[in-house]
């Protein structure tokens, strides 16, 4: 959601900056949800009780403007957060002149009210698969989100604690779903966040499955089981780049207006706005579902190698930025290699790139022909299986070994 969960004076963040989004368009379809031997269910809420389960969730009570210059107040009233027909409903209302008190006991006035709840202090997780089936509101000014923050936010603050936005949507761009991360080095305050997006035409008309697969080496975002954004952990243990080795808790909310949601104003005729959640499910990976290793190899004998080396970049294997994933030279050889830990039975596209270009998508790319290049950008493709793999050595810019 790109803002603080921690109670701190530094709450007002600037406008979102999207950095090199990966974009995929899919059509609406019915998704059959089932578990398999790769995942074990460890936590869930199907919202089939008459009330919100306070052993799982906490309702927030915040005044307007507390974060992101949002216009709504968050209340714990059953007019803003409740269950209906086996679903969680977060309802935003237009209530000019509404008066209440926030969690500190301070009185406020608000023209809009809504709901926000989280699992902080009750449940948090490190790694796993998170599935949330939801239907989103429509109307300009709406800003629903499904996201996570690190447990250490109260001690280390944002963005050092890490933030994972499983789903964000703003009403003035209906159908454009965003997935993002924020860390000390990669966040929208610096214009460096890593984000991807996907177009779904029926976000406000039907339920869709928003999911995150989170392992020690990657984050993979999906909608309706269609992966659309992948981030690889290339941090070398730097917490400023990858704080996602610590527990995070889950947040569900519907904001109104604010720095992003209110860019084109608020449609007051669209109220009440509702975000409905059918269920939330959290899984842990089984031994059978473990990730596998894939070794990439490229021969640079016909190239003058850049001083910054050779990189895996482009396609959907990139780490969410133009730079890509660093490769390493084999001693007394012209071959460069890199072994990645990737999810099994998955498809990835990529290219080799001669040099690091962290701020540009231009320069250094290999040019390959149709024999081994696929798609608009003539990328290389790999489909992982269930076994560790060593890919054949290829020549930079060619499909086979160097001559």
Residues labelled as active-site residues: 163, 168
Q: Which residues lie below 8 Å from residue 85, measured CB to CB, with a gap of 6+?
A: none
Three-state DSSP state, 48: coil
- Do 370 and 363 form a contact (C-beta atoms < 8 A)? no
Q: Is the dihedral of CA 248, 253, 258, 262 positive or negative?
A: positive
- CA 373 to each of CA 150, 289, 360: distance values in angstroms, whole numbers, following the listed order: 40, 30, 22
C-alpha closest to that of 391 among 308, 282, 317, 284: 317
Distance of CA 40 to the CA centre of its chain: 22
User: What is the C-alpha to C-alpha distance for residues 232 and 238, in angstroms, rounded to an integer?
Assistant: 13
Task: Please state the three-class secondary structure of 89-157 as a single string.
Answer: EEEEEEEEEEEEECCCCCEEEEEEEECEEECCCCCCECCEEEEEEEECCCCCCEEEEEEEEECCHHHHC
- The CA-to-CA distance between both ends of the chain, in Å, stands at 51
C-alpha closest to that of 115 among 280, 282, 273: 273
Q: Which residues lie below 8 Å from residue 83, measured CB to CB, with a gap of 6+?
A: 47, 48, 49, 50, 51, 52, 89
Q: Which residue has the tokens 């604010």?
A: 258
Please provide the DSSP assignment of 193-253 as one string.
-EEEEEE-TTTTTS-EEEEEEE-SSEEEEEETTEEEEEEE---TT-TTT--TTS-EEEEEE
User: What is the C-alpha to C-alpha distance for residues 341 and 279, in angstroms, rounded to an integer?
Assistant: 30
Task: State phi, psi for 24 to the nearest 5 degrees.
Answer: -135, 145
- 43-81 core/surface letters (b: 16 or more CB in 10 A; e: else): bebebeeeebeeebbbbbbbbbbbbbbbbbbbbbeeebb
């Amino acid at each position: 959601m790109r803002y603080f969960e921690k109670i701190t004076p530094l709450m007002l963040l600037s406008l979102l900056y999207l950095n090199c989004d990966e974009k995929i368009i899919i059509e609406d379809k019915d998704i059959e949800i089932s578990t398999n031997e790769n995942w074990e269910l460890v936590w869930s809420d199907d919202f089939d009780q008459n009330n919100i389960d306070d052993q799982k969730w906490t309702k927030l009570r915040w005044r307007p403007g507390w974060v992101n210059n949002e216009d709504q107040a968050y209340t714990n009233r059953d007019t803003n957060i409740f269950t209906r027909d086996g679903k969680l409903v977060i309802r935003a209302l237009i209530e000019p002149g509404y008066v209440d008190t926030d969690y500190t006991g301070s009185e406020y006035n608000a023209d809009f009210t809504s709901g926000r709840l989280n699992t902080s202090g009750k449940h948090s997780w490190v790694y796993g698969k998170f599935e949330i089936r939801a239907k989103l509101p429509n109307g300009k000014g709406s800003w629903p989100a499904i996201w996570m923050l690190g447990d250490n936010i109260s001690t280390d603050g944002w963005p050092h604690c890490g933030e994972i936005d499983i789903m964000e949507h703003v009403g003035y761009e209906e159908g454009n779903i965003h997935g993002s991360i924020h860390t000390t080095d990669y966040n929208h305050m610096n214009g460096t966040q890593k984000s991807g997006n996907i177009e779904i035409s029926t976000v406000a008309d039907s339920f869709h499955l928003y999911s995150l697969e989170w392992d020690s080496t990657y984050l993979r975002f999906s909608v309706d089981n269609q992966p659309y954004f992948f981030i690889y952990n290339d941090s070398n243990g730097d917490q400023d780049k990858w704080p996602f080795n610590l527990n995070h808790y889950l947040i569900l909310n519907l904001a109104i207006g604010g720095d992003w949601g209110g860019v084109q104003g608020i449609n007051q005729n669209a109220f009440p706005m509702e975000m409905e959640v059918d269920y939330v499910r959290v899984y842990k990976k089984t031994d059978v579902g473990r990730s596998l290793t894939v070794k990439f190899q490229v021969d640079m004998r016909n190239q003058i190698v850049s001083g910054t080396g050779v990189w895996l970049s482009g396609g959907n294997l990139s780490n969410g930025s133009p730079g890509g994933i660093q490769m390493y030279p084999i001693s007394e050889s012209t071959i460069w290699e890199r072994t990645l830990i990737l999810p099994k039975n998955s498809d990835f596209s990529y290219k080799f790139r001669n040099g690091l270009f962290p701020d540009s998508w231009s320069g250094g790319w290999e040019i390959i022909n149709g024999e081994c290049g696929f798609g608009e950008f003539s990328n290389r493709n790999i489909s992982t299986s269930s076994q560790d793999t060593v890919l054949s050595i290829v020549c930079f810019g060619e499909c086979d070994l160097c001559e």
